[in-house]
Structure 1
């Protein structure tokens, strides 16, 4: 009996080490790919902006979305990965407040910008019926920056309570109604604050998801009509095919976000029902909530001709420079 008990005790650390390794590698890959993908999109759009006089509204939104996703990976993915690999006490109380606030804003901007992208794309490809819609479509490029400012102010206001509850990890047990993020704790102190805070964020998220799903449904209807009239449209409108391809990309982005949003919120609803949230549940939510920020830039790269061509050109220029700098051997 003593030998079997010792074997069980010896197996537990090995199992725990394996779980930590799998979790660490998963977060490391997710964070690394997310930073690489979003940085590549931002660099591509920076080069496009130098060539083109003015970016299209959809391109501006995609660039801003890549920026918010990058900020999300830096403020959540990086410290989460570092803690998993044993780097503790990364932040003090002020540092936690800044990081949590930046993460909350970047995560909120991700959903808001995806919603904005679907609405703007729906307006772009919508038929000009009536003077109001025609005027609105002609002013889309002028509305991008004011909408950006409005979304930033909205989410900075809604997320203003997040730094109030963020503290550095303390020794001992985690108090009730506290989210243990590893690198920081978010202590809501009581059940009412915990539930109200979750309800406010969930209401905002569900509202934007509802709008993006409605606009994406309208885009699908227009795409179906376009597929029926594709021959005549190609003869009369040269730019329609590019707009429809961009619309398809937007719909795929919305579907991708909605899928991970659903998983994220199912976990979040469970977290609202318990006083002490298991760390594995927090890790699962952190992983799924960052999946959109990781995969969306690669979807942009694979479906956006501008980004793909700019990256191919940059790779070709780098190859040419390397070949010219390589010394010739006699």
Structure 2
């Protein structure tokens, strides 16, 4: 159990650092006078969501926060509710990011190409809608979550040392979790569909370019190919982690048992995407390096005055 605990703290440390760096880079891009792209709003929102996800994981895990004594229904309700809302927002934002990429690379003559000029307004409105959707959709969790010390062992489904789900309303919360799964699967399906659509467009564009240039390709990686790599890597990793978590959750609900080992493994799987995704975005985003260079130049000018 100790290796799993150490691994979760290491994961949280890496994830918090990477997401904080990504969020600050998006904020600095805005304050340095650059007009943010719709993708910047989504990746910044994704970084914020993942920061909150990882923080709630730390507060729900025993260890450094042992002195907080979370044997309180209100604290457990708030933390578990926040963790599920952020998880839903992570799925929804990734799906929206994938769909926005599909709109961006669509031909102007296609029906998706008509939304290119309005993508900024649609992105902001969609983000607000997703926040309202996830906040309201998970509100039933406030009824099911209780402190572990307030129920007996036969009346609870523990998901941590301090907090549990009361099994007194087993049918209600099991139905609720099924509805959450339907929502998540729908967004994952939209994510996969838009990703396949993008890969198909880029593949056709690459074949057309090869034909026009007599099969001569530039040795440098094109922006389209780089975008394809980001999408495939993020979506593939997310889908794998999502289905692994779904299998673990389904088995645990059927057995009505969350052992410490199962809980530790699921925690690592659940937050793997929150840790890896900002690293992928940072590595492939050259504008972050440009932003840091501009900051350095402005700081040098300020100090030289």
Q: Scaled by the length of structure 2, what TM-score is found?
A: 0.87
Per-residue CA deviations over 1:233-272 (Å, capped at 9, x if unaligned) read 9xxxxxx943553343123211111111011011011112
Partner of 2:217: none
Check conservation: 1:198, 1:272, Cα contact below 8 A. no
1:125 equivalenced with 2:105 (yes/no): yes
CA distance in 2, matches of 1:181, 1:48: 39
Check conservation: 1:31, 1:73, Cα contact below 8 A. yes
Structure 2 SS opposite 1:199: helix
CA distance in 2, matches of 1:256, 1:311: 28
4+ long deviations beyond 3 Å: 229-233, 240-244, 311-314, 316-321
Per-residue CA deviations over 1:31-61 (Å, capped at 9, x if unaligned) read 1111101000001111111224421111111
Question: Mind listing any 5+ residue stretches in structure 2 that lack a counterpart?
Answer: 214-220
**Distance verdict in 2 for CA 1:50–1:246, change over 3 Å:** farther
Work out the number of aligned pairs and report it: 294
Structure 2 SS opposite 1:128: coil
1:249 equivalenced with 2:225 (yes/no): no
Partner of 2:50: 69
Q: How does 1:116-195 map to 2 (within 5 A)?
A: 116-130=96-110, 132-170=111-149, 173-195=152-174
Structure 2 SS opposite 1:229: helix
Q: 166-175 or 257-266, which moves further after superposition?
A: 166-175
Structure 2 SS opposite 1:34: helix
CA distance in 1, matches of 2:182, 2:202: 30
Q: 84-93 or 143-152, which moves further after superposition?
A: 84-93
Check conservation: 1:121, 1:247, Cα contact below 8 A. no
CA distance in 1, matches of 2:280, 2:105: 21
CA distance in 2, matches of 1:179, 1:199: 18
Partner of 1:327: none
CA distance in 2, matches of 1:96, 1:277: 17
Q: Scaled by the length of structure 1, what TM-score is found?
A: 0.81
- State the superposition RMSD in angstroms: 2.7
Answer with 1 or 2: which has the greater Rg: 1
- State the 1:292 CA deviation: 0.4
- State the 1:107 CA deviation: 0.6
Match for residue 201 of structure 2 among 218, 222, 243:
222
